[in-house]
Amino acid sequence: MANIRVMDPLLANKIAAGEVVERTMNVVKELVENSIDAEATQIEIHLMDSGVQRIEVRDNGKGMGREDAHLAFLRHATSKLKDLDDLFNILTLGFRGEALPSIASVSSLSITTSDLKEGTSLQLKGGEIIEEEGASLVRGTTIVVKDLFYNTPVRLKYLRNLYTELALITDYVDKMALSYPSIQFLLTNNDKTLLNTAGDGNLLKVIYEIYGVDVAKKMLPLEGENSDYEITGYMSYPEVAKASKNVITTLVNGRVIKNSVLNRIILDAYHTYIPKDKYPVIVLNILVDPLLIDINIHPTKMDIKFSKLDTLTELLTSLITKNLKKTLLIPHVSVRNHESIDEVIEQQQEPLFTPIEEEEEFHPKSSYQEEIQFQFEVQEKEVPYQIEDNKEEHALIDRMYPVGIVHKTYIIAENESGMFVIDQHAAAERINYEKYLKELSQPTTSKVSLLVPLSLEFSNEDFLLLKEKMPLLEEMGISCEEFGHNTLIVRSHPAWFIEGKEKESIEKVIALLLTKGEFQKEKFIEKTAITLACRMSIKANDYISQEDMQYLLDTLIACKNPFTCPHGRPTVIAYSNYDLEKLFKRSAE
């Protein structure tokens, strides 16, 4: 007698459910994606107890006839793939034909659907149809899932608490709303509305609904393409960076994905603009030929593989860095007491920076007024504080004049535009970082010989690594040679090393060279510049004179990026004249 048997369909569906349906969010995801594939323009998701007791997804899509409604609950039954070639040209969100039978096998499910020709209502329990009747001819589909995991108590046991489950669902629906701004999404839990979008196609309006007005005001449009990829979306100013990486929304052909490679490209582009533990708010929609991607690598279809990743990296990096470089990124401390977006749109305020005459020296003009007059219309949006690419040699900030210092750390400065607070350590770090990066990026010809050579001892492993990298040290201007067992003698150093801190600088450079992991010269140079800038710059509580303050500010505004230190912290915070007057009630509200 044979020991191998064909698995019962109900058992097979339960096993598949273990991969496809891990929690309530997966149910919502599969049902919402089916609604989108059905060309719905309105999708409602109603939950009871975060979906554990009840999930209802209702849409106005094209619906199904009676025969299709039955076939939809057979495993591997789908309308989205017809042959093998279709698997390499997937344009829909679903394609495997596993979702509905898997969900039905671990719940009590009802479906009411109509394609305007006939209406059908089915009741299923544990994957089996127990009741069928006709339904009204209202176009669309409504699916209700109750008692999820009632027949798989182990899976039910390992659901997280209701707040966590709801947070996962909310995050997913938010991302789908960002992916499809032309679809109206309504999400409720226990009759409380959590999201309600207009569905008018305006992505910036969806960003406002999800993240609020303060974030929506500080978003920059992303738009560009090359021969392989097209990118659209919005990216935030660095100052609104968040602590959670969930604010990074990446979409490929309308599909929400979580891809570590894409996240790394984005974070690398924001490098030195935001701290390492912060993440920019970004909505990134990538359009690409389906032949260049593989989405069939995970049961939940949440990950993806890219072909021609180098061209995607180049395009995305250039778009983000271009926006950051042409935008004045000084955090602005504004005072407002309005509560709705309509009040923000209506409010009129004077510019943060006073416009200058054409014949005067070039300085960036402010569009702070446009920032307050936040518009939802789809239009060409001027980037705030934009400068022309061919005028990068001019200062991005008008000259500031120091008037004092607070806590021996924060310089208070002014100009015609308002008041500024400058972190002296962060400002010095930025200045030194750009100086050191420039010096390290080119072979050093100017060296200073040490009166007393510096002797450094290392372990066997470290010494072998250093011997391999001694040409790089020589290129940087650090001349050294072997001296006895596992010992190096350093005889000279670059002339730009700070006097009195030569030994510390040399030790830091060598320590970075010995860092474990794959060695990349560009990364090493950047880390060296950041480390030396941090160690060699003036610190908080260090005394500096009025002349030193002025020199620091003048040097800062000459930097390529005077807005943040190399670690991403702000160097300058601005108070406009209007805000100062409003704070002291000298201006009409």
Give pLDDT tens digits along the chain (589 positions). Answer: 555 555 555 545 444 444 457 788 889 998 998 899 889 999 999 999 999 889 999 999 999 888 888 888 886 555 544 444 444 444 556 444 577 888 888 889 999 999 888 999 999 988 888 999 988 888 999 999 998 887 666 556 667 688 888 998 999 999 999 989 999 999 999 999 999 999 999 999 999 999 988 888 889 999 999 999 999 999 999 888 888 888 999 988 888 888 888 999 999 999 888 888 889 999 999 998 888 877 655 555 566 788 888 999 999 999 999 888 777 667 766 555 444 444 433 433 333 333 333 333 333 333 333 332 333 333 333 333 333 333 344 567 889 999 999 999 999 999 998 999 999 999 999 999 999 898 888 877 788 888 888 888 888 888 888 888 888 888 888 888 888 788 989 998 888 887 888 888 888 888 888 887 777 888 888 888 998 888 888 888 888 999 999 999 999 999 988 999 998 889 999 988 888 888 888 865 5
CA atoms of 98 and 9, how far apart (whole Å) = 12
Is the separation of the CB atoms in 36 and 43 below 8 Å? yes
Residue 318 lies in a domain: yes
**CA neighbor of 563 nearest in space, from 421, 430, 404, 428:** 430
Q: Mark whether 86 and 179 lie in a shared domain.
A: yes
CB contact set of 56 (below 8 Å; sequence gap of 6+): 44, 45, 46, 47, 142, 143, 144, 145
Q: Please state whether beta strands 418-423 and 572-576 pair in parallel, antiparallel, or not at all (unpaired).
A: antiparallel
For residue 450, the tally of other CB atoms under 10 A from its CB is 16
Q: At what angle do helices 162-179 and 24-37 cross, to 10 degrees?
A: 20
The answer to whether residue 412 sits within a structural domain is: no
In a domain, 261, yes or no: yes
The residue among 293, 325, 357 that closes a domain is 325
Round to whole Å and give the CA distance between 507 and 511: 6
Three-state SS at 208: helix
Task: Give the DSSP H/E element, type plus range, for residue 482.
Answer: strand 479-482
**Tokens (6 digits) for 261:** 């490679």
User: Are 73 and 51 in the same domain?
Assistant: yes
Residues 115 and 140 in one domain: yes
The answer on 116 and 213 residing in a single domain is no
Q: Which helix (H) or strand (E) holds 33?
A: helix 24-37
State which of 255, 290, 325 marks the end of a domain: 325
Identify the domain containing residue 310 by its residue range: 203-325
How far apart are the two ends of the chain, measured CA to CA in Å? 89
Q: Is the same domain home to 144 and 262?
A: no
**What pLDDT shows up at residue 71?**
85
Residue 539 CB neighbour total at 10 angstroms: 13
Domain co-membership, 169 together with 58: yes
Residue type, 204: L
Both 277 and 179 in one domain: the answer is: no
Q: How many domains does the chain have?
A: 2
Q: Does residue 555 form part of some domain?
A: no
Q: Which amino acid is at 483?
A: F
Task: Indicate the residue among 325, 348, 371 that finishes a domain.
Answer: 325
Task: Give CA–CA dist 380/76, Å, rounded.
Answer: 45
Looking at the domain assignment, is residue 108 inside a domain? yes
Residues 118 and 190 in one domain: yes
Instruction: Say which CATH number the domain at 249 has.
Output: 3.30.230.10
Same domain, 86 and 161: yes
Task: State which amino acid sits at residue 103.
Answer: I
Query: What stretch of H or E contains 112?
Result: strand 108-114
Torsion of CA 294, 298, 302, 304, to 10 degrees: -20
Q: List 56's β-bridge partners, or say none.
A: 46, 144
Question: Reduced to 3 states, what is the DSSP secondary structure of residue 534?
Answer: helix
Answer yes or no: is 409 within a domain.
Answer: no
Query: Are 531 and 436 a contacting pair, CB within 8 Å?
Result: no
Is there a single domain that holds both residue 135 and residue 55?
yes
Tokens representing 570 are: 């702000």
Which pair of tokens denotes residue 7? 């698995």
Residue 572 lies in a domain: no
Please check whether residue 38 is in contact with residue 61, taking contact to mean a CB–CB distance below 8 angstroms.
yes
pLDDT score recorded for residue 466: 86
47 is written with which tokens? 């939950």
- Tell me: do 151 and 261 sit in the same domain: no
Residues 143 and 210 in one domain: no
Res 535: pLDDT: 83
Tokens representing 258 are 């979580």
Q: Is residue 273 part of a domain?
A: yes
> What letter represents residue 274's amino acid?
I
119: domain CATH number? 3.30.565.10
Tell me which DSSP letter residue 576 carries.
E
Residue 305 φ/ψ, nearest 5 degrees: -115, 135
Residue 442: name the closest of 367, 364, 525 by CA: 525
Distinct helix (H) and strand (E) counts, the chain: 18, 22
Whole-number pLDDT of residue 57:
95
- Whole-model pTM over 0.75: no
